[in-house]
Chains A and B, each alone.
With several copies, the nearest count.
Chain A
Amino acid sequence: MAWTREQMAERAARELEDGFYVNLGIGIPTLVSNYIPEGMSVQLQSENGMLGMGPFPYEGEEDPDLINAGKQTITALPTTSYFSSADSFGMIRGGHIDLSILGAMQVAQNGDLANWMIPGKMVKGMGGAMDLVAGVKKVVVVMEHVAKGKDGSESPKLLKACDLPLTGTQVVDMVITDLGVFTIDKKGEGGMTLVELAEGVTEDEIRAKTEGAFKVALR
């Protein structure tokens, strides 16, 4: 049984530590905020200029001047501070954010990441993704293990080398898919290592669905 989106988010939340400042991408990463352990202080950064992001507002309490990087209405917390985009990305680029959890189209065994454009399709832009993966101390990717084509075909997303245009080179520390968890020695020679299996998933199944080389060190 592969993990659900919620289970993937829950697993990603285990990378949080007390006192962490964290930036969450759109999609499954956003769900991680639901699994912050009680008693743990985690401040969420929104790269459009906010630290200490609160939950969505109650209906009727939306404030057009208070949105997150996904342009959704949100709320503030007692810890909140606001700042400019330049200060926000100074914070990101300067290595002050402890953890970034984000989605991906492809990840290579050396930590290369592709998640912003598909040649031939309309390009929307990279937004803050390149800054986040280059600047944040630890980058965790949460994604489906394989891409599913419209015809039902499956193609691996964990590759020897990305063929889509890159968001960053040697930037990913960990990949959480619906099938398991991999660590990547992004700055060293250690390559990619499978460290956890989703319940009921076998090493063989993962091997069949992964193009990139990986060692196995289940814990």
Chain B
Amino acid sequence: MKKVYPDPKAALAGLLRDGMTIMAGGFGLCGIPDELIDAIQASGVKDLTVVSNNAGIDGVGLGKLLDTRQVKKMISSYVGENKEFARQYLGGELEIEFNPQGTLAERIRAGGAGIPAFFTKTGVGTKVAEGKEVREFDGESYVMERGLFADLAIVHAWKGDTEGNLVYRKTARNFNPMMATAAEVTVAQVEHLVEPGKIDPDHIHTPGIFIGRILHVPVREKRIEQRTVRKRKEPEAAAAGGGQI
């Protein structure tokens, strides 16, 4: 039972077909399975429904699949950074289903955990609840949301072993762990591929059972969407974006 594949093309061989649903991990450009996205672009597969919190930016990440018009529909929470996306959407060439970010995360988690539907406060009384069942529990209103399950999930992890056990790094974790559980087949690209036993079993974020195929991607430069820094001379308290004293 070999899970390790030599390159992105091999790792996706036999898994792609027109009209399929693909989940792609990542938040913005952080923790995206970029090499697998490249291979999907190269394959030419089309009419895809893509479940991903964002849609990449122009020419990067999922933006590439938009450039080549391989995507029919996006299921996302925020797609603001992509001009080609806007063009196709406004031109009626691309369908979009917006989900609140937490509802999207929970729908994916539910799909992977055998839960076909759940109730949430999020979106009650808004467009998001239109056409959905709204029910009261203990005096509060909740909307019913459905689990999501894909034909294929592609995820990015920092470290993985040949059994498919994965560890994510910092905020590059985001949607990857749930997506890994919510597809017929999950393919993981990892920055460091190690032998079983090299990862402390208490540190594993995604157990190998969820990973059908795994691929080592050599470390390369990762893109930063919003490079924000502070000057070395500035006092710490003056830096925006967070603080704890």
Q: Which chain A residues (62-115) contact chain B, with CB distance < 8 Å?
A: 62-68, 70-97, 112
Q: How far is the CA of A44 from the CA of B245 in the complex (A)?
A: 11
Q: A43-B208, A66-B170, A96-B209 are in contact. Are A85 and B53 (CB under 8 A)?
A: yes
- What's the nearest-Cβ distance from chain A to residue B177, in Å? 5
Interface of B is mostly: loop
- Assess the A82–B241 pair: CB atoms within 8 A: no
Q: How far is the CA of A168 from the CA of B209 in the complex (A)?
A: 25
Q: Which chain B residues border A82 with CB–CB below 8 Å? A: 168, 170-171, 173, 201-202, 204
Q: How large is the interface on A (under 10, 10 to 19, 20 to 34, 35 or more residues)?
A: 35 or more
- Assess the A65–B171 pair: CB atoms within 8 A: yes
- Assess the B228–A72 pair: CB atoms within 8 A: yes
Decide if A1 is an interface residue (CB 8 Å cutoff).
no
- Assess the B103–A131 pair: CB atoms within 8 A: yes
Q: A53-B241, A71-B30, A94-B112 are in contact. Are A167 and B126 (CB under 8 A)?
A: yes
Q: How far is the CA of A74 from the CA of B232 in the complex (A)?
A: 14
Q: Which chain B residues (53-101) contact chain A, with CB distance < 8 Å?
A: 53, 76-81, 86, 89-90, 96, 98, 100-101
Q: How large is the interface on B (under 10, 10 to 19, 20 to 34, 35 or more residues)?
A: 35 or more
- Assess the B101–A47 pair: CB atoms within 8 A: yes
- B184-207 interface code vs A (CB 8 A; 1 in, 0 out): 000000000001110001101101
Q: Which chain B residues (98-149) contact chain A, with CB distance < 8 Å?
A: 98, 100-106, 108-109, 111-115, 120-128
Partner of B126, one of A41, A125, A166: A166
Total contacts A-B at CB 8 Å: 307
Decide if B225 is an interface residue (CB 8 Å cutoff).
yes
Decide if A39 is an interface residue (CB 8 Å cutoff).
yes
Partner of A78, one of B76, B81, B175, B197: B197
- What's the nearest-Cβ distance from chain A to residue B122, in Å? 4
Q: Which chain A residues border B90 with CB–CB below 8 Å? A: 122
Q: A49-B171, A67-B27, A134-B123 are in contact. Are A124 and B80 (CB under 8 A)?
A: yes
- Assess the B175–A84 pair: CB atoms within 8 A: yes
Q: Which chain A residues border B17 with CB–CB below 8 Å? A: none
- Assess the B100–A55 pair: CB atoms within 8 A: no
Q: Which chain A residues border B106 with CB–CB below 8 Å? A: 86, 89-90, 93
Partner of A165, one of B126, B168, B210: B126
Decide if B239 is an interface residue (CB 8 Å cutoff).
yes
Q: A36-B245, A51-B208, A65-B222 are in contact. Are A128 and B102 (CB under 8 A)?
A: yes
Q: Which chain B residues (25-44) contact chain A, with CB distance < 8 Å?
A: 27-31
Decide if A54 is an interface residue (CB 8 Å cutoff).
yes
- Assess the A89–B227 pair: CB atoms within 8 A: no
Decide if B243 is an interface residue (CB 8 Å cutoff).
yes
Most buried by B among A30, A124, A165: A124
Decide if A38 is an interface residue (CB 8 Å cutoff).
yes
Partner of A125, one of B79, B123, B201: B79
- B202-245 interface code vs A (CB 8 A; 1 in, 0 out): 10110111100000000000111111111110001111111111
22 examples of A-B residue contacts, CB within 8 angstroms: A18-B1, A48-B27, A54-B244, A56-B229, A57-B230, A60-B229, A65-B31, A71-B29, A71-B225, A75-B242, A78-B163, A79-B161, A79-B163, A85-B27, A86-B177, A93-B106, A122-B90, A125-B98, A127-B101, A166-B127, A167-B126, A169-B125
A contact residues vs B (CB 8 Å cutoff): 18-19, 21, 24, 30-31, 33-34, 36-68, 70-97, 112, 122-131, 134-135, 165-170
